[in-house]
Amino acid sequence: MNKQVLVPIADGVEEIEAVTIIDVLRRAGAQVTVAAVGDTAVTASRGVRLVADVRIADCMHRTYDLIVLPGGIPGAEHLRDCPELVELLRTQKKENRWYGAICAAPAVALEPHGLLVGTAATAHPGFISRLAADRTRTDPVVKDGRCVTSRGPGTAMAFALTLVAALFGPDTARSVAEAMVADPVVLGTIL
């Protein structure tokens, strides 16, 4: 079964996280839609230009198996301030479908909209204090229910492989990781 994934991007997103998420999920066989908040061509946090498939408004009447947000500042702030994306994320959580975020995005884009209520989560060390203390974790990747969060660019591969395992199972995640010659330590943290 083809899994539908939405990866929103905006000016200032962290390019390592965005590209790693998109690439690894596509390697697993997911149909990944990259949707821009604003112009379809965005400038990421380190100046890399990324071009989205569509604008976020084009995604409003579709159902996704996973919606996952890259971090970066001000990218995560742009994602937080996008009413269409917030609506999609609220529906995702309400309908018990997978969603996630990495780096600043859990604290900046999910937490303010109540999308982490009752959910253990992690975020970049510079933003983790914005999460509710009783739910904060410092693991590289945290999966709680249908929500997956991670800490930053250095954990992007483990995060993406965890998303693959969530959608397709551990065998697919292992196969994708081995084909990419993933560090066995990274592989061990997710399987």
Neighbours of 137 (CB within 10 A): 16
Q: For residue 117, what is the domain's CATH number?
A: 3.40.50.880
Which one-letter amino acid corresponds to residue 106? P
Asked if 59 is an active-site residue, the reply is no
Q: What mean pLDDT comes out for the span 36-46?
A: 95
Q: For the chain, what is the domain count? A: 1
Domain that holds residue 177: 4-190
Q: What is the pTM of this model?
A: 0.96
110-125 pLDDT, tens digit per residue, is: 999 999 999 999 999 9
Q: Looking at residue 57, what is its pLDDT?
A: 96
Cα distance between residue 38 and residue 65, in whole Å: 23
128: its two tokens: 């983790």
**What integer best gives the mean pLDDT of the chain?**
95
Among 59, 82, 103, 147, which one carries the catalytic annotation? 103
135-148 pLDDT, tens digit per residue, is: 999 999 999 999 99
